[in-house]
């Protein structure tokens, strides 16, 4: 479960996140959409413990991120938008590195790591240095490593960037499967089709503030559209916020 | 011309935006500090050369020969530095920079792209050599009472030297990039490192500097200098530049212009050769460099369980993860290898120095001199350690690069992360420092007291130096740098070296008095009185306290800064 209370983040004079209040329940896939520079990545990084908020609190499974960051992070599988990795490690070594960091027992790792790499079609490349991987392969490796410790909360920033159609399908199925298993999933995306496809609830962020939340149907009702797709709903919501 | 300037514009704009950015005030302070240090070195170089030249002038019969020989050697050293710096810079500018893909995608002729890169590479590789050659030439001008022509000639002599070094190095790099398999371009650096290592060792051995303290050998050295006062090879660019400067010093304007013309004509020819080579093979080499880097040595495929079993038994999870990652990434990064070779060269030269010290020929009593040198050696070894730490420990946090998110999102506190890094670097540096100290003390045949004192003091100082490097490295990290190893030349790097020098100086000053008293009492068979004992113990307690503070304060600063990012 994720709970954000009055979350704010300032960069100098810029208010990147303006008092977010949000709760995502176990088994739910929450989609976070918004235009470029709306504050999605900043929010996600605060939730992952990578950035400290200026104000407000983040609770992960009831654990306060500011007070017990290690315990909170142990429950998170964090997948960033850009796949920066240790280029001089092999894929397998990176998996082991993650397993060691997150306390995955050694015996369990060998089975699970291999299974995971096979699932992400990386097993053949397991002994290759990460620097020789393509963008998509790196992204898949990060996802594989993030799920290794069986996190209860999965935070994903733009999961489909760099993935081929097969990879996208696989990640969609994977996220749905994880949600069915009771995991809390928080996902930011620019791909409205993906959000519409797999998210139980969607939040629209604009200029650091949450301007709408609900299911796709809720959002359609809010904007007065009945037959429109999420793209039109999104554009309408954002346009309404543009100052005259 | 317009396209050429446009290609250089991002560099200028980045520089301008840096000056006017959010933390411009901070940068001004940094610039002031770095400028002051640079100026101090500049003035120091001037003072040293001025003093040496004045001394040479007082040596009857040999003064001018020695001064000219020094000028010739200095120019040769500058040229060697320029060549090495140009090779490293042109490799980065032509093949490794991140913006190359964007630049090559622009609708600009490859020759223009090359020209812009060549200009940047020449400027980057030579500005520092030019700045630090000016005090040398200024001291020559003043001591030889040269006219204005000499100063103009000095500028006109340095420019072709830089252009020649850059053009020749670029040619070599482009040819190597074609010959070597794609992706191995960084391996060239290993090759260069090895060559530099061998050159250093051989050059040092050939110089035999220990002879300078032997009056008989010194006399023959002067005779040697006289015998080699004939000009060096007329085919060397440094010879034309040297001849141009020498004749300018003595007011022979025509001869000077002739020699400088030789240098300039060769510079133009070398640039033409460089562009001709670029037309032939630059783009092909660049295309090759874009493929995935190949392994220099093939690795055993991950035999899964066995790979980590040893580490698994020794350390708990997070510690094991970081140790394995750190060690593997360090040794697999081929750009680190030349640095290791240099480090080995440094140790060999350092220890060798002590093995050839002709202490018995000194008028001062040998046992006294041996132990004084041993005491000063502690400080010297700590300075060597600072240099090593500046290269390896200071960038240890920056080297995480853009992958630092992995650390930040991991269930490991920043404190734990930094302390793990501390111990990863502390252990090898402690071993290195103790080897330096014990080996040199054995060569000096010092007393057991001095051996014990040096080994203990260095044992206390290594954690301080490592923590200073790591803590300040974490306080001034650069996660976006293309080459984090260069972080040492940043403000934080200079601050680290300054703080480390102050720390070493304080330890040496605190220990010097009581150690001298203790040592002399032992030598004269006297017993220390109560006050002297209190002084001795008090000083060592202060050294201990200072060392603890040097570990704790910078580490805390580093942890706090990383947390607040």
Of the candidates A50, A76, A51, the one whose C-alpha atom is nearest the C-alpha of residue A61 is A76
Please name the residues in contact with A223: beta carbons below 8 A apart, sequence gap of 6 or more.
A232, A233, A236, A237
Contact residues on chain B for A42, CB-CB shorter than 8 A: none
CA-nearest residue to B290 within chain A is A132
CA-nearest residue to A88 within chain B is B329
Q: B313: pLDDT confidence band, cut at 50, 70 and 90?
A: low
Between CA B560 and CA B519 the distance in angstroms is 44
A85 has a chain B CB within 8 A of its CB? yes
Q: B182: pLDDT confidence band, cut at 50, 70 and 90?
A: very low
Provide the shortest C-alpha distance from residue A156 to chain B (in Å): 12
Please name the residues in contact with A177: beta carbons below 8 A apart, sequence gap of 6 or more.
none
Provide the shortest C-alpha distance from residue A86 to chain B (in Å): 6
A239 has a chain B CB within 8 A of its CB? no
Out of B325, B403, B413, the one facing A69 most closely (by C-beta) is B413
Instruction: Supply B208's token pair.
Output: 């035999």
B321 has a chain A CB within 8 A of its CB? yes
A157, β-bridge pairs: A188
Between CA A229 and CA A192 the distance in angstroms is 9
Mean pLDDT of B194-223: 60
Of the candidates B113, B108, B140, B109, the one whose C-alpha atom is nearest the C-alpha of residue B8 is B113
Out of B301, B332, B406, the one facing A88 most closely (by C-beta) is B332
Out of A52, A103, A126, the one facing B302 most closely (by C-beta) is A126
Out of A78, A88, A100, the one facing B318 most closely (by C-beta) is A100
CA-nearest residue to B302 within chain A is A127
Out of A51, A86, A132, the one facing B403 most closely (by C-beta) is A86
CB < 8 Å from B in window 99-118 of A? 100-103, 106, 110, 114
Provide the shortest C-alpha distance from residue A104 to chain B (in Å): 8
Say what the pLDDT of residue B36 is. Answer: 86
* Interchain pair B302, A131: CB under 8 A: no
CA-nearest residue to B407 within chain A is A50
Q: State the average pLDDT for chain B.
A: 82
CB < 8 Å from B in window 184-213 of A? none
B295 has a chain A CB within 8 A of its CB? yes
Q: HSE-up of B449 (CA within 13 Å, CB side)? A: 14
Q: B296: pLDDT confidence band, cut at 50, 70 and 90?
A: very low
Say what the pLDDT of residue A220 is. Answer: 78
Q: HSE-up of A54 (CA within 13 Å, CB side)? A: 14
**Quick one: which H or E segment has residue A76?**
strand A76-79
Identify the sign of the CA torsion B326, B327, B330, B334: negative
Provide the shortest C-alpha distance from residue A150 to chain B (in Å): 14
Say what the pLDDT of residue B29 is. Answer: 75
Indicate if the pLDDT at residue B127 is higher than 50. yes
* Interchain pair A132, B292: CB under 8 A: yes
**Quick one: which H or E segment has residue A178?**
helix A165-180
Q: B229: pLDDT confidence band, cut at 50, 70 and 90?
A: low
B367 has a chain A CB within 8 A of its CB? no
Instruction: Report which DSSP code applies to B301.
Output: P
Give the pLDDT confidence of B360-416 residue by residue, as tens digits: 666 666 677 777 788 888 888 898 899 889 888 999 999 888 889 999 999 989 999
Give the pLDDT confidence of B132-180 residue by residue, as tens digits: 899 999 999 999 888 889 999 999 999 999 999 999 999 988 888 887 7
Contact residues on chain A for B306, CB-CB shorter than 8 A: none
* Interchain pair B409, A70: CB under 8 A: no
Q: Which residues of B52-71 are buried (b: 16+ CB within 10 A; e: fewer)?
A: ebeebeeeeeebbbbbbbbb
Provide the shortest C-alpha distance from residue B305 to chain A (in Å): 7
The ipTM estimated for the assembled molecules is: 0.85
A125 has a chain B CB within 8 A of its CB? no
Best of B25, B302, B320 to substitute, by most chain A Cβ atoms within 10 angstroms, is: B302
Mean pLDDT of A128-136: 88
């Amino acid at each position: 479960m994720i709970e954000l209370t009055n979350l704010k983040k300032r960069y100098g004079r810029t208010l990147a996140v303006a008092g977010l209040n949000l709760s995502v329940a176990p088994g739910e896939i929450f989609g976070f959409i918004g235009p470029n520079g709306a504050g999605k990545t900043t929010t996600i990084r605060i939730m992952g413990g990578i950035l400290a908020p200026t104000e407000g609190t983040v609770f992960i499974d009831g654990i306060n991120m500011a007070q017990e960051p290690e315990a909170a992070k142990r429950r998170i599988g964090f997948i960033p938008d850009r796949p920066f990795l240790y280029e001089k490690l092999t894929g397998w070594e990176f998996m082991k590195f993650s397993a060691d960091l997150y306390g995955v027992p050694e015996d369990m790792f060998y089975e699970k790591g291999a299974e995971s790499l096979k699932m992400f079609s990386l097993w053949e490349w397991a002994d290759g240095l990460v620097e020789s991987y393509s963008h998509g392969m790196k992204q898949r490796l990060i996802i594989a490593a993030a799920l290794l410790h069986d996190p209860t909360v999965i935070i994903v920033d733009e999961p489909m960037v760099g993935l081929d159609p097969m990879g996208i399908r696989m990640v969609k199925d994977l996220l749905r499967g994880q949600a069915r298993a009771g995991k809390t999933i928080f996902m930011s995306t620019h791909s409205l089709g993906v959000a519409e496809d797999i998210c139980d609830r969607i939040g629209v962020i604009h200029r650091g503030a949450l301007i709408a939340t609900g299911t796709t149907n809720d959002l359609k009702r809010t904007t007065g559209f009945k037959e429109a797709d999420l793209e039109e709903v999104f554009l309408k919501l954002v346009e309404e916020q543009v100052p005259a | 011309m317009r396209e050429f300037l446009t290609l250089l514009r991002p560099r200028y704009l980045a520089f301008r935006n840096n000056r006017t950015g959010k933390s411009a005030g901070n940068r001004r302070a940094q610039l002031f500090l770095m400028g002051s240090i640079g100026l101090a070195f500049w003035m120091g170089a001037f003072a040293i050369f001025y003093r040496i030249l004045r001394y040479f002038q007082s040596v009857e019969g040999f003064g001018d020969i020695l001064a000219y020989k020094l000028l010739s050697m200095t120019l040769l050293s500058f040229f060697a530095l320029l060549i090495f710096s140009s090779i490293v810079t042109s490799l980065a500018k032509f093949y490794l920079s991140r913006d190359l893909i964007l630049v090559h995608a622009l609708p600009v002729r490859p020759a223009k792209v090359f020209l812009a890169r060549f200009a940047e590479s020449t400027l980057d590789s030579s500005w520092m050599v030019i700045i630090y050659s000016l005090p040398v030439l200024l001291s020559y001008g003043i001591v030889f009472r040269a006219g204005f022509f000499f100063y103009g000639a000095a500028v006109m002599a340095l420019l072709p030297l830089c252009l020649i070094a850059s053009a020749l190095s670029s040619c070599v790099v482009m040819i190597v990039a074609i010959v070597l398999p794609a992706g191995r371009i960084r391996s060239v650096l290993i090759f260069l490192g090895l060559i530099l290592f061998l050159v250093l060792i051989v050059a040092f051995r050939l110089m035999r500097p220990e002879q300078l303290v032997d009056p008989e050998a010194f006399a023959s050295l002067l005779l040697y200098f006289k015998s080699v006062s004939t000009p060096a090879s007329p085919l060397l660019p440094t010879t034309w530049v040297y001849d141009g400067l020498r004749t300018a010093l003595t007011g022979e304007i025509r001869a000077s212009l002739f020699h400088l013309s030789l240098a300039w004509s060769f510079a133009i020819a070398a640039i033409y050769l460089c562009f001709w080579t670029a037309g032939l093979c630059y783009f092909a080499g660049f295309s090759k460099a874009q493929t995935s880097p190949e392994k220099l040595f093939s690795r055993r495929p991950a035999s899964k369980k066995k790979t980590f079993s040893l580490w698994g038994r020794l350390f708990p999870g997070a510690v094991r993860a970081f140790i394995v990652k750190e060690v593997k990434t360090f040794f697999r990064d081929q750009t680190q290898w030349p640095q290791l070779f240099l480090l080995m060269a440094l140790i060999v030269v350092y220890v060798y120095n002590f093995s050839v010290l002709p202490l018995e020929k000194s008028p001062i009593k040998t046992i006294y001199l041996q132990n004084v040198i041993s005491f000063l050696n502690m400080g010297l070894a700590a300075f060597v350690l600072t240099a090593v730490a500046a290269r390896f420990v200071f960038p240890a946090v920056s080297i995480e690069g853009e992958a630092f998110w992995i650390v930040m999102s991991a269930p490991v506190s920043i404190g734990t992360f930094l302390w793990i890094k501390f111990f990863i670097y502390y252990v090898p540096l402690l071993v290195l420092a103790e080897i330096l100290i014990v080996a040199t003390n054995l060569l000096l045949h010092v007393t057991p007291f001095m051996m014990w004192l040096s080994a203990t003091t260095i044992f206390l100082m290594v954690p301080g130096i490592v923590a200073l490097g790591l803590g300040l490295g974490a306080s001034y990290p650069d996660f976006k740098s293309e080459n984090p190893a260069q972080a040492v030349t940043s403000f934080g790097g200079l601050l680290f070296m300054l703080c480390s020098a102050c720390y070493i100086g304080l330890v040496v000053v605190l220990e010097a008095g009581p150690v001298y008293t203790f040592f002399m009492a032992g030598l004269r068979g006297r017993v220390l009185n109560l006050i002297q004992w209190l002084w001795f113990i008090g000083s060592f307690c202060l050294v201990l306290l200072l060392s603890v503070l040097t570990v704790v304060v910078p580490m805390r600063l580093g942890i706090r800064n990383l947390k607040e990012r």
